Amino acid sequence: MAIQKSAKKRERILQAAIQTFSVNGYSNTTIKGVAEKAGVSFGTVFTYFENKENLFKASVLEPLEEVKAVMLTVPEPSDDPTKQIQEVIAKQFRFFAQQTTYARMLQYVIGQPERFQELFIELDQFSIQLREALRPLIVKGQEQGVLMEIEPNDISDSYLAFINGARLTFTDSADNEKAWDMFMRQAYLLFGPKLI
């Protein structure tokens, strides 16, 4: 029995890298630091990741799939799109509230598009996918007359900006539920509800 199954070790390194990158940024993160946090030797990091840049890319891209799953999985519109939207908002904010670490990595990359061009482009696809995911619910709400007639893309884009902004601004207490509840309520306003 191997002391440590490869995949597990790789995962440990990746998690350590995400932690460290998100706190220190790219250049200020050292492989040595990641290795120590992961509990492996310095050289072992290079057994699993070709170089620092690749480790960073993996740290950004691999967890992205989960984020996409949460952010882009939106139910078919039902009779009560208002409630559905609020539930989607709640799910997404709760998720982001927990993703302090990883969210920072995303913001770090988004904030330096020239430097991390390749990753940036990948992340930029996201807003378009979110538009498509949210549109049916928004359209339904507007048809039912419970939402104002705002261009759905504008709603999606501003909603995404808001999540990011909330996540960025509100670092102090990732667990502060009240604050996140507040942000959720405010987020809903961006969808243009006619009554609250």
State which of residues 9, 104, 140, 167 lies at the interface with DNA (CB under 7 A): 9
Among 23, 28, 87, 124, binds DNA (CB under 7 A): 28
Of these, 16, 21, 22, 48, which contacts DNA (CB under 7 A)?
A: 48
Of 27 and 43, which CB lies nearer to its own copies in the complex structure? 27
Per rule CB under 7 A, count of chain residues that contact DNA: 24
Report the chain's terminal Cα–Cα distance, integer Å: 60
What Cα–Cα distance (Å) separates residue 156 from each residue in 56, 85, 124?
28, 12, 14
108 near DNA, judged by CB under 7 A: no
Look at residue 168 and give the partner it binds from its own copies, DNA, none, a contact being a CB closer than 5 to 8 Å depending on partner kind.
its own copies
Is the Cβ of residue 11 or residue 135 nearer to its own copies in the bound state?
135
Listed in order, strand segments (DSSP E) in the chain are: none
CA distance 94 to 90: 6
Could you say whether residue 3 binds DNA (CB under 7 A)?
yes
Residue 40's contacts (CB-CB under 8 Å, 6 or more residues apart) are 9, 12, 13
- Report the residue number, 54 or 186, with the smaller CB distance to its own copies: 186
> Which spans of this chain sit near its own copies (rule: CB under 8 A)?
23-28, 104, 107-108, 110-115, 124, 127, 148, 150-151, 154-155, 157-158, 160-166, 168-172, 179, 182-183, 185-187, 189-190, 192, 196
Tokens 């670092």: give the residue: 171
Q: 155 with 168: CB under 8 angstroms?
A: no
Evaluate whether 137 touches 158 at the Cβ level (below 8 Å). Answer: no
